[in-house]
Amino acid sequence: MARHASRALLPGAGFAFAYTLAILAGRSTRVEGSEVSLAWPAAAVAVLWCLHARDLPRSRAALHGGGLAILTFGVNLATGAGVGLAAWFVLVNVALGAVTAAVLRYGERPAALRQPADLGRLVAAVAAGTLVSAALAVVWFAHEGQPDLPQTFALFAVRNGVTALAGVAVVLRLRDAQWRRPSFAVRRVAEAITCMGLVGLVFVRVFWLNPGHPNAFGVMLPAMWVSLRFSTTTSTVFLTGSGVSIMAATLLDRGALQGVTPQEQALLAQGMVGALTVVVLTLALFRDSRNELIAELRELAQHDPLTGLANRALLHQRLEHALARHPAGTVGVVLLDLNGFKLVNDAWGHEEGDLLLVEIARRLTDLAGPRDTVARLGGDEFVVLCPGIDGPADLDLSVERIRRRVALPYGQSSDAPYDRITASAGAAVSDRSSTPRSLLAAADRAMYDAKRAERGAGLTGREAPPARSPAGPPSAAGAPARG
């Protein structure tokens, strides 16, 4: 019980610690000579905390909300705010997190950043939360008689909104990221080095060596290169570094934003970070979505929709590759046709027949080696491509294993059609003149020879031996076929 309670409290303690650090980090970004902070990472932590609380039972969610409120009140008091201001800003911060989380999770949709629509939903949620919180903040300052309320509203909305958007986007993306081993292809590495060099050069020129010229738009060019050529995860890491670079240069009064008032610096710096976030993530997510769609279409075009096995087109590609890489006599093809399958369709229906084909595909895949390809040509015809075999005898062993596995019972009843499924198999081994078409044709001829032999002998496919193409000696099952 105590262990369960401690596990329940750990996330809250973690969020409380992160929230406190975020507030201190935000206060450390105040522009020199001003109380204006360039960034407010506490806004992002508050949103993530409320998102976590929404997945909990109401009693525990209330505890997390209470923790956020108490911590906000305490930190404001500790940093010199009065009791009234500290209490009001509890409402401001809780509203920011709660409204954003509610809009983002409306209809119990998951909070994620995988598709362009996810980014649109995140932007809308953050905009709603920051507008509500900024309006509440302005109410307090209006009550205190502070002038320039429109500028105050803009500062709160832009600063909190951009920081929340960038922070939540980074966390959501990195949380779901699937890290892959980087490609070390020479061309890819050269492009990555060139891109990093150009990005660094542009950012240093615009935000560090620039004597105040308004050319900050120049950072968009390398940013678009990153988002269009690299993954969304890489683009998210790039955004994190870019945001830190822009904030640091602005705090040191360097680059394109030097020499302007603190309020303008805050608005312009946050505007630049916000524009980079939206542009880079939009392009990167569209790029990844397009690539995923192309991969799915390619998968559909090269695989059988029922069994998931390779189809005829992919089989031909694999055959061409195998014949080009392996010497003659080391590429084997097994073509098999099911005996008794029509009876299953007639007696049990096509749906049961489809289930049987799926099971056949599973059994063949289980038998296949790591380099083999199992394909369905259509109907009840299957092919197993075996590249790199030791010779015809090796292929014979594979054929026998296939026929025995196919012949195992499928149904429960001894007189069910499932128990009378066998396979007639024909095999062919490549020679120097083999092509994908000729090798398949040789295996096909051998398979039909096996069928005729089985019928003439009155044997089932379970009892009959595999046949070879007539191009080889009829008595030698392992002889290579001539195609």
Residue 423 is part of a domain; what is its CATH number? Answer: 3.30.70.270
Q: Is the dihedral of CA 88, 67, 47, 28 positive or negative?
A: positive
The confidence score (pLDDT) of residue 261 equals 79
Same domain, 169 and 45: yes
Based on the residue annotation, tell me whether 55 is a catalytic residue of this protein. no
Same domain, 422 and 350: yes
Same domain, 160 and 236: no
Same domain, 8 and 147: yes
Same domain, 62 and 17: yes
374-to-279, 333, 363, 384 alpha-carbon distances in Å: 44, 10, 10, 5
Same domain, 30 and 166: yes
The confidence score (pLDDT) of residue 79 equals 75
Same domain, 19 and 160: yes
The confidence score (pLDDT) of residue 468 equals 38
Segment 343-371, tens digit of pLDDT: 888 888 888 889 999 999 999 999 998 99
The confidence score (pLDDT) of residue 2 equals 44
Same domain, 214 and 349: no
**Residue 28 has what DSSP assignment?**
T
Last residue in a domain, options 153, 176, 199: 176
Last residue in a domain, options 280, 302, 324: 302
Same domain, 227 and 286: yes
**Quick check: is 386 in a domain?**
yes
The 3-state DSSP class for residue 436 equals: helix
Same domain, 298 and 362: no
**Quick check: is 380 in a domain?**
yes
Give the separation between CA 254 and CA 10, rounded to whole angstroms: 41
Structure tokens at 113: 């950043």
Give the separation between CA 181 and CA 167, rounded to whole angstroms: 25
Q: How many domains does the chain divide into?
A: 3
The confidence score (pLDDT) of residue 478 equals 31
Segment 305-337, tens digit of pLDDT: 999 999 999 999 999 999 999 888 889 999 999
Burial class (CB in 10 A: 0-12, 13-18, 19+), 211: exposed
Give the separation between CA 435 and CA 437, rounded to whole angstroms: 5
The confidence score (pLDDT) of residue 428 equals 93
Same domain, 26 and 166: yes
Residue ranges of the alpha helices (H) in 252-302? 262-302
Secondary structure (DSSP) of 353-379: HHHHHHHHHHHHHHHS-TT-EEEEEET
Residue 16 is part of a domain; what is its CATH number? Answer: 1.10.1760
The confidence score (pLDDT) of residue 437 equals 94
Annotated catalytic residue, options 380, 396, 431, 444: 380
Reported as half-sphere exposure (CB side, CA atoms, 13 A), residue 198 has a value of 15
Same domain, 214 and 136: no
Last residue in a domain, options 279, 302, 325: 302
**Quick check: is 479 in a domain?**
no
**Quick check: is 243 in a domain?**
yes
pLDDT < 70 positions in the chain: 1-9, 31-36, 179-185, 212-213, 411-419, 457-483
**Quick check: is 181 in a domain?**
no
Q: Which domain holds residue 207?
A: 188-261+271-302
